[in-house]
Chain A
Amino acid sequence: MREFDYRRADDVSGAVALLGADPDARYLGGGTNLVDLMKTGVERPARLVDVRTLPLDRIEPAGDGGLRVGATVTNSDLAAHPGIRHRYPALTQAVLAGASGQLRNMATVGGNLLQRTRCGYFTDVTKPCNKRAPGSGCPAVQGEHHNHAVLGASEHCVAVHPSDMGVALTAFDAVVSYESADGPGELPLADFYLPVGDTPHRETALPPGALITGVTLPPAPVAARSRYRKVRERASYAFAIGSVAAALDVSGGVVRDVRLAFGAVASRPWRAGIAERVLTGAPATAEYFAAAADAELAAARPLPDNGYKVTLMRNLVVAVLSELAEEAAR
């Protein structure tokens, strides 16, 4: 870890000014990912701008039943917030499914969206990785990839985004607010992450030097009946090998509204828009849930050792939507 300058920002515009256009400067939030990456040499910043104490730690009403979550709200506070638990229970479940109690106390909403993949090639500077060292290659395609992407990947990178929280936010059409040198801006989460293509090192559409200031959850009555299910290789304190955030509104046995997003299958939280379209207006039965999952997963391009994820995601969709449908029928 190289020596670095450290500044604490007093306000949002001050933070953006402190970072400036310096490509070697980074914002420091909870530090749970950045400090780790600095220890492994993946990140070698020359300056840290500490934004943890900025007044962005509130969760407030937004619009007609929506909520605005400040960027420095910790994962713990987000998960415990009564409004989130009441209106978007899958978001609380997703946050609680991630990391550990200690890490959730530290990690912030803004940082969660910007966390880097846990691909073992990316986090090991002795190995090639196009995301970390563009042009060095992607050893995962021929090497270890049983927990890599089946959707939206490219030959240049098959890493998955590690966030649980982001999967639920994606399902609920969250919008990211940021501040840049050019002033404030907004990005729907749907447009926040860039396609992998041949530039896996370029991960988000944020302007250079921009600071995430918050995330807005639009009103979504369907989210009141929602659920997050995560499968991992131990029962807790592990990243997903597949996860589903789902919300379902059923009336008269027919799907009126549905939200569906997948985790650990792509370089970004994956909104299952095809499946949602198949399901909307369809009977709320396991057969239709499976057909919808199949429609979404038709685009899957598994590698030799991660094809199980297609089965897993299909089964998870059917299981979670069936549970929600049963609840609705009760």
Chain B
Amino acid sequence: MAPSTSSTVTLDINGEKHTLSVDHRTTLLDALRERLDLTGTKKGCDQGQCGACTVLVDGRRTVSCLQLAVASQEREITTVEGVAEGERLHPVQQAFLDLDGFQCGYCTPGQICSAIAVIEEHAAGWPSAVTEDVRPEAGPPPLTPEEIRERMSGNLCRCGAYVQIVQAVARAAAETRTGTEGAAA
């Protein structure tokens, strides 16, 4: 096969399939922002050093600036534009809004996507760097403010909204738990 520098790809974004030709150099982040007009995902550093470009890929939070678009096929991509249910905000979005978990708003979509995943990772029993005992027999750690801070640390916020973001994540996590228990009951 002769070398080629672009490919036609199909990207599954927020439940919708988009087929486009991409330069292999194009990251998922740039494909979203420059090609698909999905500008909710932000470019803060373009080097995996700030988390502003966080999206969910197959349900897992990912920095889209280090993910090539051509390597993103056959994966389910969810951006901040796809987390609400119609007009009803995702509990994480609502908590950010109510508790003022942002100022300039530029890191916010990444923080929100990250927070959604943090709540799920914690629910799945994943330990973190501040979990005292990571052995499975120790059981899952409670989602304390310290756990939230560590797990959210890949999302920088220069305005300094961390205090309110942690409150928002805690509230949304509690609501999610209540919701789950309610559904189970």
Give chain A's interface residues, CB within 8 Å of chain B: 1, 3-8, 28, 30-32, 35-36, 39-40, 46-48, 50, 52, 76, 79-80, 82, 85-86, 89, 92-93, 96-97, 99-103, 105-106, 235-237
Contact A85 B61 (CB under 8 A): no
Contact A102 B54 (CB under 8 A): yes
Task: Judge whether B66 is part of the interface by a CB distance below 8 angstroms.
Answer: yes
Complex A-B: 13 CB contacts under 8 Å:
A3-B25, A6-B71, A35-B27, A36-B47, A76-B60, A85-B127, A85-B136, A92-B127, A96-B134, A101-B118, A103-B48, A235-B150, A237-B154
- State the CA gap A105–B135 with chains docked (Å): 20
Contact B126 A93 (CB under 8 A): no
Contact A48 B63 (CB under 8 A): no
**Of B2-10, B83-91, B97-105, which binds chain A?**
B2-10
For B63, give the chain A residue with the smallest CB separation.
A102
Contact A236 B48 (CB under 8 A): no
CB-contact partner of A103 in B63, B71, B126, B151, under 8 A: B63
Contact B127 A80 (CB under 8 A): yes
Residues in chain B near residue A48, CB distance under 8 A = 24, 68
Residues in chain B near residue A97, CB distance under 8 A = 129
Residues in chain A near residue B121, CB distance under 8 A = 76, 101
For A30, give the chain B residue with the smallest CB separation.
B66
CB-contact partner of B4 in A5, A80, A237, under 8 A: A5
For A92, give the chain B residue with the smallest CB separation.
B134
Q: Identify which of B47, B71, B124 gathers the most chain A CB atoms within 10 Å of its CB.
A: B71
- Chain B proximity of A38: nearest CB distance (Å): 8
- State the CA gap A92–B133 with chains docked (Å): 10
Contact B68 A82 (CB under 8 A): no
- State the CA gap A32–B124 with chains docked (Å): 24
Residues in chain A near residue B76, CB distance under 8 A = none
- Chain A proximity of B11: nearest CB distance (Å): 15
For A237, give the chain B residue with the smallest CB separation.
B153
The contact string, 1 if C-beta is below 8 Å from chain A, for chain B 102-136, is 00000000000010011001001111110101111
The contact string, 1 if C-beta is below 8 Å from chain A, for chain B 53-72, is 01001001111011110110
Residues in chain A near residue B154, CB distance under 8 A = 99-103, 237
Having A96-B131, A100-B154, A102-B54, one finds 9 other A-B pairs with CB under 8 Å, namely A3-B5, A4-B5, A28-B71, A80-B125, A92-B127, A101-B117, A102-B62, A103-B154, A106-B63
Residues in chain A near residue B135, CB distance under 8 A = 85-86, 89
Q: Identify which of A1, A4, A102 gathers the most chain B CB atoms within 10 Å of its CB.
A: A102
- State the CA gap A80–B150 with chains docked (Å): 16
For B6, give the chain A residue with the smallest CB separation.
A3
For B55, give the chain A residue with the smallest CB separation.
A102
- Chain B proximity of A137: nearest CB distance (Å): 25
Task: Judge whether B137 is part of the interface by a CB distance below 8 angstroms.
Answer: yes
- Chain A proximity of B171: nearest CB distance (Å): 20
Q: Identify which of B25, B67, B124, B129 gathers the most chain A CB atoms within 10 Å of its CB.
A: B129
Given known A-B contacts A76-B60, A85-B127, A101 and B134 have beta carbons under 8 A apart: no
Task: Judge whether B12 is part of the interface by a CB distance below 8 angstroms.
Answer: no
- State the CA gap A31–B155 with chains docked (Å): 19
Contact B66 A35 (CB under 8 A): yes
For B128, give the chain A residue with the smallest CB separation.
A96
For B118, give the chain A residue with the smallest CB separation.
A101
- Chain A proximity of B118: nearest CB distance (Å): 7
- Chain A proximity of B144: nearest CB distance (Å): 15
- Chain B proximity of A37: nearest CB distance (Å): 10
Contact A106 B127 (CB under 8 A): no
Given known A-B contacts A36-B48, A86-B137, A237-B153, A6 and B68 have beta carbons under 8 A apart: yes
Contact A36 B66 (CB under 8 A): yes
CB-contact partner of A100 in B5, B134, B149, B153, under 8 A: B153
- State the CA gap A12–B160 with chains docked (Å): 46
Given known A-B contacts A82-B136, A99-B154, A236-B150, A47 and B3 have beta carbons under 8 A apart: yes
Given known A-B contacts A28-B68, A80-B125, A102 and B134 have beta carbons under 8 A apart: no
- State the CA gap A40–B47 with chains docked (Å): 9
Contact B118 A6 (CB under 8 A): no
Contact B66 A32 (CB under 8 A): yes
- Chain A proximity of B138: nearest CB distance (Å): 9
Contact A79 B24 (CB under 8 A): no
- Chain A proximity of B21: nearest CB distance (Å): 13
In the complex, chain B residues 34-60 whose Cβ is within 8 Å of any chain A Cβ: 46-48, 51, 54, 57, 60
